[in-house]
Structure 1
Amino acid sequence: MGALLVVALFALALVSLLVGTGSSSATGAWHYLTGDPAARADPQLRLAVMDVRLPRTLAAALVGVCLGAAGCLLQAATRNPLAETGLLGVNSGAAFAVVLGLTFFRVHSSSAMLLCALLGAVAASSVVLLLAASGRAAGSPLRLVLAGSALGATFHGLTAYVLLGTQSTFDIYRYWTIGSLAGVKTADLLPLAPLAALALLTALGCARPLSALALGDDSARSLGHHPARVRLVVAVVVSVLSGCAVAVAGPIAFLGLLAPYAARTLSGARMTAQLVLSALIAADIMIVADVLARVVIRPWETPVSVLLALVGGPLLIWIARSPRLSTAGASA
């Protein structure tokens, strides 16, 4: 199944390079990709394929992999099949940082907004980790979720307060917060790719401890694992992955929830397989959503988050009613 998803990923990436909202045709883009001299000499084709579609395709794959893996880790660590990355306050922290940057530091470039979003996401999750690590129930799933929900609500209120007094900031923030890959540049992705790769490698290393946690904390301790420590490491990895995704595309809902559910359906309780399949499924879905966003109301563009929400809402209701909801366990 993993091989099929990889093949689908490359096929969808090719479709993404061929399809766009502009006047450049799929045939012309194909000729450009296959090295046709006349097509390579066309500056409009080069702009469409290399400067617009290629960065969006890479960004969609990166965002999908990050959100899919983060959702899978978070659901396993909290033993909650409906958990998603917003539980750690990542989205709210990123949004608050973007608003602060726009209002007080006159941030307007895409790279500067990306940096603000990443720093805000990591800062918010760091505060959640500190709150969850204190007290008698340190590192427990419930404490982690409650800390993330409380901090997320706080950041949301602060963001609304700042936006009330700055109309210009609200206009820019409104475009960022809808979640879109429009305007992404390859240079924006280069600093994030190594960070995401390191987080993904760490996530794979957490597969066996998370499999033990699925048996219960006492069973995990008897196998030599430390549940609180494992959850803190997972929370850090989830924060980095989610921060990278939010920084690139803004808040994207449902993807980190739906992809792990589909992965569990395909792989069963094997945690490593769940993690890999979840990342691949989310990347495929993200590229499909981005391609559809370009063509649904052509020549205009639909925010990719809107398409995901339209599909994710009904699917979430179906998942909540499904008897499979309780099958969130994992084994190595």
Structure 2
Amino acid sequence: MSGQRMGQAAQWRLGRSNSTRALVLAATALLLLGLCAISVAVGTRDVGWTEIIGGLQGRAETIGQAAVAVRIPRTIMAAIAGAALGLAGAIMQGVTRNPLADPGILGVNMGASLAVVIGMAWFGLVSASASMWAAILGAGVTAVFVYVIGSLGRGGATPLKLALAGAATSVAFSSFTIAVVLPRNDIAGNVRSWTIGGVGGSTFADIRLVLPFLVLGFVLSLLSARKLNSLALGDELAAGLGERVAIARAMAALGAILLCGATTAVCGPIGFVGLVVPHLCRLLAGIDHRWLLPFSAIGGASLLILADVIGRIIARPNELDVGIVTAFVGAPFFIWIVRRQRVREL
């Protein structure tokens, strides 16, 4: 009887007005388009509409048009990377039923980074495609490792234990990364700047490289929406409704790992986007993952573009990498969640 009441309560919470959600989703998409325009126009050098139009047409006759030509792939990369991280965060929170789940907090991003650095230092990985596969492998191994460690002991994989296991793993892998890089002066400079996390210097070649992995990750994640709704009711009730719990978790987790690994390979480990965005999007979309996942993708893209624009403005004529800006936003948000929420399960 309690299971039936849980199911009815969940259905009531999922039953918000779809028309209202659609309108809000359209508004957030328009906001994203506006932020893209601002990202192209604003930087260490502001440009006018005529230069923007010229840059969009592929001309580079003036400094402004050349600046626009550089900012276009940077803006696209920020959008797809932010969407990937926001969506991965929502998936991880749904799979683990952990309000603190995030690719950075659970150590997945740092595992991907360590795998890339080891590949560069010890195995001579130089191609971008090889680094991509190394990052995805590192993200997957780290996700399994953290889940196994968090599952040990009484009570299984509780949200708090997963968060602690992920934080400890992230710190350890960060130290390992430094240890690998220190004796290698030939790669130290590039690795240090990459591990901060940023989208500066992105090119259309980078976008073409990462796009197939992200598309596959997006598809797997969005196909997992109904399964995540079932898992939110609890494993026993989900199994009673005919859901194959292990397969559902594995499919959703694979999508999140592809998104995290591919994004980390080209942008470095960018933290807190996957933590902040899903919580904010639940205020707009509720807990129905069929709506939460698209909201999280658009919200993540908007947040990362906004963070990139702020990083260009706040330190003119220099720039702050987007990973630094998201850390300033995400760290206080993380503390607020820990203090305010019931850190047991979603």
TM-score by length of 1: 0.84
Q: 2:32 — aligned with what?
A: 9
User: Could you tell me whether the CA contact under 8 Å between 1:28 and 1:45 is conserved in 2?
Assistant: no
Pair 1:318-2:336 in alignment: yes
One-letter code of the match for 2:34? A
Aligned equivalents of 2:136, 2:29: Cα separation in 1: 30
Q: Residues 119, 4 of structure 1: CA spacing in aligned structure 2 closer, same or farther, 3 A cutoff? A: same
Which residue type is aligned with residue 68 of structure 2? V
- Aligned equivalent of 1:62, options 69, 77, 80: 80
1:21 to 41, 44, 50: 44
* Superposed counterparts of 1:265-284, under 5 Å: 265-284=283-302
Query: Which residue type is aligned with residue 200 of structure 2?
Result: A
Q: CA deviation at 1:172?
A: 1.9
**2:318 match: secondary structure:** coil
- Residues in 2 aligned to 1:107 and 1:120: alpha-carbon distance in whole angstroms: 9
Does the 8 A contact of 1:77 with 1:231 survive in 2? yes
User: For residue 20 of structure 1, what is the amino acid of its counterpart?
Assistant: G
Q: Which residue of 1 aligns with 2:318?
A: 300
Q: 1:106 to 1:269 in 2, by over 3 A?
A: closer
SS at 1:82's partner residue? Answer: coil
Structure 1 unpaired stretches of 5+ = none
Q: Deviations over 1:77-104 (max 9, x none)?
A: 1000111013554322322233234434
Rounded to whole Å, the distance in 1 between the matches of 2:230 and 2:191 is: 42
Partners of 2:196 and 2:306 lie apart in 1 by: 18
Distance in structure 1 (CA, Å) of the matches to 2:335 and 2:60: 51
- Of 141-150 and 258-267, deviating more is 141-150
Contact 1:65–1:279 (CA under 8 A) maintained in structure 2: yes
Q: Is the 8 A contact 1:89 1:121 kept in 2?
A: no
Matches within 5 A, 1:122-141: 122-128=136-142, 141=157
Q: Contact (CA 8 Å) 1:77, 1:141: kept in 2 or not?
A: no
Cα separation, partners in 2 of 1:283 and 1:133, compared to 1, 3 Å: closer
Q: Residue 116 of structure 2 aligns with which residue?
A: 98
Give the AA of the match of 1:5. Answer: T
Question: Does the 8 Å contact 2:52/2:68 carry over to 1?
Answer: no
**Structure 1 CA distance for aligned equivalents of residues 51 and 175 of structure 2:** 46
**Counterpart selection for 2:71 from 43, 48, 53:** 53
**RMSD between aligned alpha carbons?**
3.0
Post-superposition shift, 1:170? 2.4
Aligned partners of 1:31, 1:226: CA distance in 2, in Å? Answer: 52
Aligned length: 317
Q: Which amino acid aligns with 1:211?
A: N
Q: How far, CA to CA, are the matches of 1:182 and 1:133 in structure 2?
A: 33
- Rounded Cα–Cα distance in structure 2 between residues aligned with 1:161 and 1:222: 49
Q: CA deviation at 1:11?
A: 1.0
Question: Does the 8 A contact of 2:83 with 2:297 survive in 1?
Answer: yes
CA drift at 1:45? 3.6
Identical amino acids, percent of aligned pairs: 35
Distance 1:70 1:88 in 2: 12
Q: What is the CA distance between 1:171 and its match in structure 2?
A: 2.2
More displaced 10-residue stretch of structure 1: 242-251 or 255-264? 242-251
Please tell me whether the aligned partners of residues 136 and 261 of structure 2 are also in contact (alpha carbons under 8 angstroms): yes
Q: 1:306: how far off?
A: 1.1
Distance (whole Å) between structure 2 residues aligned to residue 164 and residue 172 of structure 1: 12
Following superposition of structure 1 onto structure 2, how do residues 1-332 of structure 1 map, counting pairs within 5 Å?
1-22=24-45, 25-32=47-54, 40=59, 42-50=61-69, 52-86=70-104, 89-104=107-122, 112=127, 115-116=130-131, 118-128=132-142, 141=157, 145=162, 152=170, 155-323=173-341, 329=346
Kept in 1, the 8 Å contact 2:116–2:265? The answer is no
After TM superposition, give the deviation of residue 257 of structure 1 in Å.
0.1
Letter in 2 for 1:32: G
TM superposition shift of 1:8: 0.7
CA distance in 2, matches of 1:25, 1:164: 41
TM-aligned CA deviation for residue 62 of structure 1: 0.6
User: 1:277 Cα deviation (Å)?
Assistant: 0.7
CA offsets, 1:262-321, max 9 Å, x none? 011111121111111111111111111111111111111111111111122222222333
Distance 2:202 2:31 in 1: 23
Structure 1 CA distance for aligned equivalents of residues 134 and 168 of structure 2? 16
**TM-score with structure 2 length normalisation?**
0.81
